Structure 1
Amino acid sequence: MTRLRNLHSIKKVAFFLLFFIVQFAFSQKTIQAQVLDFDTSVPIAFAKITYNNTTQFSNWEGKFSITLTDDAKPIVISYKGYYDKTYYQTLGAKNIVIKMVSNTTQKNQEILTENAVNQLIKKAIQEKDKNNPEKALRDFDYKNYEHLLISANPDSISSKIDTVIKKNFWGKRKVKLDSSNYKFRKLVEKQHLYQTEKVNRIQHNAKGTKETILATRMAGFKKPLYEILGLNLVTYSLYEKHIDILEIPIRNPISTYGRNIFVFKIVDTVTIDHRKTYQVYFQPKKNKESTLRGLLYIDAENYGIAKAFFRIYGIVSINASYTYTYLTEHHIWFPKKRLFEVVKGNNKEDLTILGETIKFNSSLEKIDKNASDQIYLKLESTPFDIHINTATVQIQNPSIKIDVPESSISKPDSYWKTIRKDSIDVRKINTYTSLDSLSAAENIENKIVFGKKIINGYLPYHKVDFDMKTLLKYNNFEGFRLGIGGVTNSKFSETYKISGYAAYGFKDEKVKFGITPSYLINKETNTWVSGSYSDDLSEIGQIQFATQSRRFKLYDSRPINISTFYSNKSFSSFIETKAAPKTDIYFGCSRSSVQPLFEYLFHYNEKDYSNYIFTTIQVAMQWNPFSDYMQTASGRLEIEKRFPKFSLQITKSLANVLGGNFDFTKVDFRIVHEIPYLSGQNSSFLLQGGLASGAIPLTHLYSIAPNNLNKESVLKRITFSGRNSFETMYFNEFFSSKYITFHAKHTFNKIKLANKIKPELTVVTRMAWGTMDKPEQYLGFQYKTLDKGFFESGLEANQIYKGFGLTFFVRYGPNALPQWDENLSIKLSYVLDLGF
């Protein structure tokens, strides 16, 4: 009996103990949380989290996990530069977002980094050259497998078929089934959306660093798109002044200037490859979006980078990670792996990468129901077969950044099986099979070739690419000008081409034409020798650079309003080449017969000339010293356009040679600079000038691109705006023999005003100065000079609807006109988006 009572007591104690454990377990709740800036939604790294007398810190993404035992007790978050945030648990919430409000009083004070980390970063900067493989090693040679894909995680996409309720014109509700998410999930379960692979060889010696493509393949293409091969989505080296991300240079935190814009914090010490490293977090002093932040693992002994994680929040969210291997023999950290990912940021608009429209998803804050928001871009790069300081590295033509031999595009599947560094990915194999079949069925390769030519203004048909710029034009002298022109393509010949055009002006009732046969001397350097004859009209005072790249427009806005032309019959021969590193070079000679088509005489040597002959020699060079170039089987391409870019052109007219009347010299130069931002905004600058000396008629001086009609009211002057023209300067108002102009623009992101109304705003300022030598030589033509300068500023609202926009400019300064409305300009603008 006693034993039974004892057994009953034990059961009772066990029951109460079990009840207490269950109650305690159910009273605890583990939640996932993220701390964000209230204004920018940028994560706040290493914020202090206090709960129930315990303290922890958020990680570098602002995330933390916490177990709650008492709902009545708050979570308190604190961080320098912000007001403390007190948060009480929301019933049933498992994932929470906590937003902190900036304390502007503290924000305006400089954030001081502790002395220890300051000294560490300073030492890392001082030792950069000793730790940078490109400077510390005599030479190296390694192969690299790189895989780029656009895909989505099927598990992140709902497999349900949604019900969508829509109203018809009469307001009646109609229920429809939306299966797009379901279909999208089924697609990405089988294959990736897009992928490309390449094996490249990276060589470095005293001449520099060069990449040679050993093998490449792109899903859906027999031959690669060279422009994609040249994409530099993320930089190779972390020791340069700038880090390139999405081809946009960003200040490197490990640089002298980087210390001025980033704040650093030592988080921990970590052992990597048996070496002690400091884990250092950095973020901008102003905690704003679209700015680099991340973790650096710095060797405690030699101050090299052992590992790095970068993150950018903004239009897109970007993750980049670098891992390194310590080479004991060479006392240096050498690249081991590079990983780059792009996901959705805070943008509400579609993003376009590699021709695909990509929508992305953010972190804990929001999950969009649209399946395409789950898409990501991922680039993985793994070096192998590494050779260091062998004294055998030979680099041919180091000015070419990437070399793509024809043999690299025809590797069999067996080659890729031996090269691929990851495990078998069934979706990867299916992607090639599916996209190759789709490409063949849809004739995608030919469509892309077609698209590239359309962008440059050519319509390909069999052996001829027709020039769309010649089809239809209008100006005040010729009226409507109807024409046809084109150039033979590679189907006609790889080494010969013939370009030509013919046009008829309905107002002046005259035919104009031109023909240019060319011969390819060297395919590798794109060297062509050409001869040409033309009988056409030219604009008075026009400024043209022989090396200027062709820009296609459905319309050419400025000539619409021009009425002062001269007849120009010209024979010429010239050579164009890219033989010199990072340059386009033009050399030509010509003989031109010029007849001004307006009232004007040129007085020279006691004689008045109403027409004249020029015999000229011209040398022109476009130099892009900061751009990178790729050599392919079809020629040389500028794959990474960096600024500034420089143009120089010298024209010499020879008297008494082939009947030439005058001896003069013209020197023209141009500097173009652009600054892109990860936010999508862009700043651009143009500095251009010219100097003409000797006996030079007004037709060949400078009118500096005016674009305003000589009419009395603002509304009557409404036409189309130009690209870099002075919108408030009237035609034939100013002429100069020496001039200089400066243009500055800043373009903001598109603003969504309505569903299809998304203007792109640009603020613009332009200015010019000029003088005229020997004005007494120019008879019968009235003009002014720019000695006191010309100034205008304005706002462009481009692409408001269907490519059309409006521009508004005002003229001010010494050359402002008496009537206020004479200084105003309102113009239409048009931007053609072909979608390629």
Structure 2
Amino acid sequence: MNCKDTFKRFIFIAFLFVSTTLAAQNTVVTGVVTDASTKKPLSFVTVSFTGSTIGTNTNDDGQYSLRSSKPYTQLKITYLSYKDAVVAVTPGKEQVLNIRLFPSAKQLNEVTIQAQKRAKYTNKENPAVELIRKVIANKDKNRPEAYNYVEYKEYDKMQFSLSNLSDKISEKKFFRKYKFIFDNRDSTSYAGKSLLPIYLVEKLSQVYYRKTPEKTKEVLLGEKGVNFGAAVDNEGVGQYFKHLYEKVDIYTNSIYLLGRQFLSPIADSAPTYYKFFITDTITTENNTKLVRLSFTPRNTNDVLFEGDIYITLDGNYAVQQAGLTINKNINVNFVRMMHVDQEFETNPDGRYHLSRSNTYADFGVTAKRKGGLFGIRTITYKNYVVNKSQPDILYAPDINLEDDAVKHRSEQFWAENRLDTLTTAESKVYKNIDSLTHMASFRRTADLVTLLFAGFKGFGKFEVGPASTFYSFNPVEGLRLRVGGRTTVDFSKRWFLETYGAYGFKDEKWKYFFSGTYSLNAKSVYKFPQNFIRASFQRDTKIPGQELQFISEDNILLSFKRGTSDKYLYTDQYKIDYVHELENHLSFNFGGRKWVQTPAGSLYPFVNGPSNIFNNLTTTELSAGIRYAPNEQFYQGKLFRIPIINQYPILSLDFTAGLKNVLSGQYSYQKLRARADKRFYIAPLGFSDVSIEGGRIFGQVPYPLLDIHRANQSYAYVIDSYNLMNFLEFVSDKYASVSIDQHFGGFFFNKVPLLKKLKWRETASFKALYGGLGANNNPTLNSSVYQFPVDNNGAPITYALGNKPYMEASVGVENIFKFVRVDLVKRLSYLNHPDIAPFGVRVKIKFDF
């Protein structure tokens, strides 16, 4: 296999990994609407089935697509300043109808423009605004939560496709072996798009809601999805896609899509941010009168929708249909278009419930090229029952079926229970991807992709990595080489073994790690919900105060540091841990540890009093923790799982007790730590990530056992650390801190033409740390504890926080080249300490939409 073919195959399969005909009774109509005179396409033309609320708007190229399972026979086309058109359609078939619209016969012989008399949009005495205020006033009674009990079946289908690939690709020599993939195209699901499905997940659930006490219970009945094999974490990819395509509830004030908060057109404050227009009134085939209410942002740079909603005039002022489109002027990466269609059905009591929600998104690296990735999430709701009480036991968390049962449903089960139909192309995805993953060429390239993106190379039951730790360097170890790996689920679904070995050529010492984990629920120990016992031993180096998230400390990129960074410890850790996560995202952990710390670098030796020298510090600890993260989502990586931040809080409480004279433990103490994290959406000013943390130590301990505050001397911007604090600069036995990281999302830059074109976004942050040290733990007041370390000149390098807090702030720009964040950080206090940096430029790599 030559290099050229390898590269082509890598590009093809990497794209799959990273991005990783309707039933005969359906009526499907597609086509283009043009001006009869100029032949140019017309955008935002309303196309609908006559006598229904099933409609759409044409896109920029004049293209439209409509579908319905009902036997409609006519199509109505309306556009301002053009004559309405009505054309016949054939029920139950797929058809293409290209339509020409003629300008209205009414002409103006003379037009006089008088700017001073131009009508200005206002909310006052505006019938459209009065109508939307009635919709807002009636929101509570039109939501499902207005009932005491609600139950329904929910079918969730998510599909991603390569879009508008050239027909010539499958004819090229390299791609001929994949022809069965390229031939599976769908041109009817969305107008103007030729879709090649590569990812499909279906989920069927029974949902129960109880108002008092409020509880929602989802019972998973069946789940089915494509499987790319061990190279891709299919569940993790699915979680990330669902994060982009959150369920849309138009009755909430905020709608979350693409990780952002969009203000709903019927939010309480909607009249402040949207303009509303009454554009049509219709009567459905059931003699229901509806008003079509169109809306557009007052400021097109704000994170808002544009589109239409249909409102009932029966006194309930309920939404009967909605079409929401992300306006094109907001600062979003890689998204050419995103549109949400929702349909509502009538309950027996005359109210409406959501029956179908479609979310479409067109992703691409550039706005000009038509090829890319196209995603569709369709959620169908049926068998809606209201005010039927259920026993309390129904809401208990143990009635969910086991994963093996719901993930291995028969084809007959899906044929009988699927609440929607699969297109011909969708129905072939499972077989096609299965065939693809069994091809040797695919597996070889998948290994290469996994190595580059996840850092691991698989060898069946064992994988080697992560690659980023193979080489690094630091002042104590010099050149450091490391190799390691771990077992996979092919080895065992219950036992997981992990190890590495490393050697420092300067200190001439071996470092190593061994761990064995037993999964109590026969799941991977890296997947939710975790339930495992782990025993481990680690002999390695550590920088006091350096705490990293999702990155190994010997990552090559972290070898580059500012200032003096030679404060190290050799550590031996014998640990046993138990972790148990519940389905409601409440988790517990218990552990025991014997910890031997030996000073290295400029920390050598530990000194107590004027002449007492200690070569090591031994402690024995028991710990317990509780954490609650409601509705938490994860993207599953090879080495770790990354939480996908959403609007829900994360609360944690940890307790540690040091045991003296147990396994040679030298100190008795207790540590308590509490933390809360929350993302606050502040429309239209973006969002703010806020963290509050506090801790307290009871007892007398030497400085390595105090709270050594998280510092950062690398050139990377670390969200959870103080980026201009030196390692081991501050220690405390009691502290409280707050961190605010604000993302404006381009709110200011979007108003500057050049910056708007670059799609740069503004950030700002502030961090403050209050703390103190009791007399019993302060070596200047108590000679029986270890003295704080000093530099070569005898000047102190470690301090206790005084009456003022440590503070730093930053302003920055993110989304440079779509994934780079650069911050200018300013240290605001304790500027007289030696070897500190009052200013600094820090860089963070972050991919975001």
Q: Distance in 1 between matches of 2:131 and 2:107?
A: 42
* 1:340 and 2:365 matched: no
* Inter-CA distance 129–501: structure 2 relative to 1 (3 Å threshold): same
More strand per residue: 1
Q: How does 1:195-594 map to 2 (within 5 A)?
A: 196=200, 198-206=202-210, 207-210=215-218, 212-218=220-226, 225-230=234-239, 231=242, 233-258=245-270, 260-272=272-284, 273-299=286-312, 300-314=314-328, 315=332, 316=335, 317-328=337-348, 330-343=349-362, 351=363, 357=364, 368=368, 370-372=369-371, 376-391=374-389, 405-411=403-409, 425-429=423-427, 435-441=433-439, 457-468=455-466, 470-523=469-522, 525-542=529-546, 554-555=555-556, 557=558, 562-579=565-582, 581-594=584-597
- Give per-residue Cα distances to partners, 1:772-812, cap 9 Å, x unaligned: 22222442532333332233334566797898886543333
2:723 paired residue number:
727
- Give per-residue Cα distances to partners, 1:376-435, cap 9 Å, x unaligned: 433333334445555468886767999783344445556555566778855445656655
- Give per-residue Cα distances to partners, 1:67-95, cap 9 Å, x unaligned: 478798559799xxx996xxxxxxxxxxx
In structure 1, what residue type is equivalent to 2:358?
L
Aligned residue for 2:149, secondary structure, equals coil
Offset, 1:306: 1.8
Offset, 1:311: 1.9
Offset, 1:327: 2.1
Q: Distance in 1 between matches of 2:496 and 2:253?
A: 44
Q: Distance in 2 between matches of 1:463 and 1:580?
A: 29
In structure 2, what residue type is equivalent to 1:286?
N
* Inter-CA distance 823–638: structure 2 relative to 1 (3 Å threshold): closer
* 1:810 and 2:810 matched: no
Q: Distance in 1 between matches of 2:685 and 2:227?
A: 28
1:131 paired residue number:
142
Q: Distance in 2 between matches of 1:449 and 1:142?
A: 40
Question: Is the CA contact 1:541–1:700 (under 8 Å) kept in the aligned structure 2?
Answer: no
Aligned residues, how many?
Answer: 701
* 1:663 and 2:678 matched: no
- Give per-residue Cα distances to partners, 1:710-733, cap 9 Å, x unaligned: xxxxxxxx8555454333333443
* Inter-CA distance 191–593: structure 2 relative to 1 (3 Å threshold): closer
Aligned residue for 1:657, secondary structure, equals coil
Specify which of 140, 143, 157 is matched with residue 146 of structure 1: 157
Question: Is the CA contact 2:533–2:579 (under 8 Å) kept in the aligned structure 1?
Answer: yes
Question: Is the CA contact 1:794–1:810 (under 8 Å) kept in the aligned structure 2?
Answer: yes
Offset, 1:541: 4.1
Offset, 1:516: 2.0
Specify which of 594, 599, 603 is matched with residue 596 of structure 1: 599
- Give per-residue Cα distances to partners, 1:269-313, cap 9 Å, x unaligned: 444543334433344443435412333333332233222222221
Question: Is the CA contact 1:402–1:629 (under 8 Å) kept in the aligned structure 2?
Answer: no
Q: Distance in 2 between matches of 1:283 and 1:799?
A: 26
* Inter-CA distance 377–504: structure 2 relative to 1 (3 Å threshold): closer
Offset, 1:587: 0.9
Q: Which consecutive residues of structure 2, in runs of 5 or more, have no partner in the other structure? A: 1-34, 46-59, 63-78, 85-99, 170-180, 188-193, 524-528, 790-795
Q: Which consecutive residues of structure 1, in runs of 5 or more, have no partner in the other structure? A: 1-25, 44-48, 56-62, 85-102, 161-182, 344-350, 352-356, 361-367, 709-717
In structure 1, what residue type is equivalent to 2:220?
T
2:649 paired residue number:
644
Structure 2-normalised TM-score? Answer: 0.68
* Inter-CA distance 200–404: structure 2 relative to 1 (3 Å threshold): farther
Offset, 1:203: 1.3
In structure 2, what residue type is equivalent to 1:341?
Y
Residue identity (%): 17
Offset, 1:693: 3.1
- Give per-residue Cα distances to partners, 1:802-823, cap 9 Å, x unaligned: 98886543333x4234999952
- Give per-residue Cα distances to partners, 1:128-182, cap 9 Å, x unaligned: 343222441513132536363536579xx9999xxxxxxxxxxxxxxxxxxxxxx
* Inter-CA distance 243–537: structure 2 relative to 1 (3 Å threshold): same
More displaced 10-residue stretch of structure 1: 145-154 or 779-788: 145-154
Offset, 1:740: 3.5
* Inter-CA distance 490–239: structure 2 relative to 1 (3 Å threshold): same
Offset, 1:698: 0.7
Q: Distance in 2 between matches of 1:66 and 1:75?
A: 21
Offset, 1:333: 0.9
1:95 paired residue number:
none
In structure 2, what residue type is equivalent to 1:313?
N
The alignment's C-alpha RMSD in Å is: 5.3
Q: Distance in 2 between matches of 1:622 and 1:426?
A: 45
Which has the greater radius of gyration? 1
* Inter-CA distance 487–235: structure 2 relative to 1 (3 Å threshold): same
* Inter-CA distance 358–185: structure 2 relative to 1 (3 Å threshold): farther
Q: Distance in 2 between matches of 1:821 and 1:536?
A: 27
Q: Distance in 2 between matches of 1:400 and 1:676?
A: 34
* Inter-CA distance 77–687: structure 2 relative to 1 (3 Å threshold): farther
Question: Is the CA contact 1:519–1:529 (under 8 Å) kept in the aligned structure 2?
Answer: yes
Aligned residue for 1:192, secondary structure, equals strand
Offset, 1:704: 2.3
* Inter-CA distance 815–680: structure 2 relative to 1 (3 Å threshold): closer
Specify which of 770, 791, 797 is matched with residue 807 of structure 2: 791
2:24 paired residue number:
none
Offset, 1:210: 1.5
Question: Is the CA contact 2:656–2:670 (under 8 Å) kept in the aligned structure 1?
Answer: yes
Aligned residue for 2:576, secondary structure, equals strand
Q: Distance in 2 between matches of 1:489 and 1:644?
A: 33
Aligned residue for 1:699, secondary structure, equals helix
In structure 2, what residue type is equivalent to 1:823?
P
2:733 paired residue number:
737
Specify which of 617, 629, 638 is matched with residue 612 of structure 1: 617
Question: Is the CA contact 1:263–1:284 (under 8 Å) kept in the aligned structure 2?
Answer: yes
Q: Distance in 1 between matches of 2:430 and 2:651?
A: 42
Aligned residue for 1:406, secondary structure, equals helix
Offset, 1:691: 2.6
2:703 paired residue number:
698
